[in-house]
Homo-oligomer: A and B are copies of this chain.
Amino acid sequence: MTFSVTVLGSSSALPTSTRFPSAHVLNAHERLFLIDCAEGTQVQLRRMRIRMSKINHIFISHLHGDHVLGLIGLISTFNLMGRKADLHIFAHKELEKNLLFNIDFYVDEMQYKVVFHPITPRKHQVIYDDGKIVVESLPLKHRVSSTGFLFREKRQLPNIRREVIEKYSLSLANIAAIKNGEDFISPNGDVIANSILTFHSLEPRSYAYCSDTAYSEKLISLIRNVDLLYHEATFANAEEKLAKQTGHSTSVNAAMIAKKSGAKKLIIGHFSSRYKSVEPLLIEARAIFENSFTVEDGDVFDIPLKRLDSGLE
């Protein structure tokens, strides 16, 4: 059960010779979620040998070109590749009219359906739930309406402790009821609490994508204890004023959010093209939040399964 993030692009608005603009792919249980889709995303997907046909859901943070200009090319390529499956796009409602216009202009005979899901700006809500994976919108603070995304595994029904199945001679109907949270009442009338009967073998994993955004403490409670936090860090701390003016964050801002929200790991990107090396940004972030990393295009961040005590040892 994979839960891993691949960075397709890590520059801010101006790409460099080594960094494409923003796009990430989350592989969650072999479902591929594309997050932002800057110019060149389809080329990066090919280079990184990611199966494009497995992308059924695209999440667009905001409508600046460096996060969305690869979308029409990808839609067109999907069509040329013979796609038939619906493609779901989650974005600010204004994008829909642009997409319709450009699809009409650039794509001959669309063979599949683009299903548009408008995101309500400034609202924190579940925007996707397939029973295994949930996506929540995270209101960000930028020059235009901008939304981050929290992807998390859903906690599955608990396991029943093996020894209690024998001890109480549980039937399949008993087991189903207990899995759904009920206590068990034994033939002699004893109430056995659900918590004694069950355990969770896996802790749900989570990934938060927060870009573009200025420093926003409102984010902290929404992403608490996330396993992996991607937070933009367009600038080094010395450019704090510029960051504020442009609605962006510094490496220090990103690390503060990681620290205050209890993130397990921080990755920073969306670097201004002014930085030939992003090492200084890494040093600044680590001074505040040690488990910080700068990203490069092609980096893969895997979140391993988190096994809990099974109660069987």
Contacts and interface: CB of A to CB of B under 8 A. Distances in A.
Interface residues of A, number: 30
Given A14-B80, A16-B46, A39 B102 contact: no
Interface string A30-74: 000000000110110011010000000000000111000110110
A13 B69 contact: no
Nearest to A20: B43
Closest A-B pairs by Cβ, 10 of them: A39-B73, A40-B40, A65-B106, A17-B47, A17-B46, A65-B76, A69-B73, A15-B43, A98-B105, A40-B43
Contacts of A106: 63-65, 69
Interface in A74-107: 76-77, 80-81, 98, 101-102, 105-107
A64 B13 CA distance: 25
Nearest to A77: B14
A42 B46 CA distance: 18
Contacts of A65: 72-73, 76, 106-107
Contact of A102 (B15, B40, B98): B98
Nearest to A143: B108
Given A39-B70, A63-B106, A65-B106, 8 more contacts: A14-B77, A17-B49, A20-B43, A39-B39, A39-B43, A65-B72, A69-B76, A101-B101
A40 B41 CA distance: 9
Nearest to A13: B80
Contacts of A101: 98, 101
Nearest to A49: B17
Contacts of A40: 39-40, 43
A291 B293 CA distance: 51
A77 B80 CA distance: 28
Contacts of A76: 13, 65, 69
24 contacts: A13-B80, A14-B81, A15-B42, A15-B43, A15-B46, A15-B77, A16-B46, A17-B49, A20-B43, A39-B39, A39-B42, A39-B43, A39-B70, A39-B73, A40-B40, A63-B105, A64-B106, A65-B72, A65-B107, A69-B72, A69-B73, A69-B106, A98-B101, A98-B102
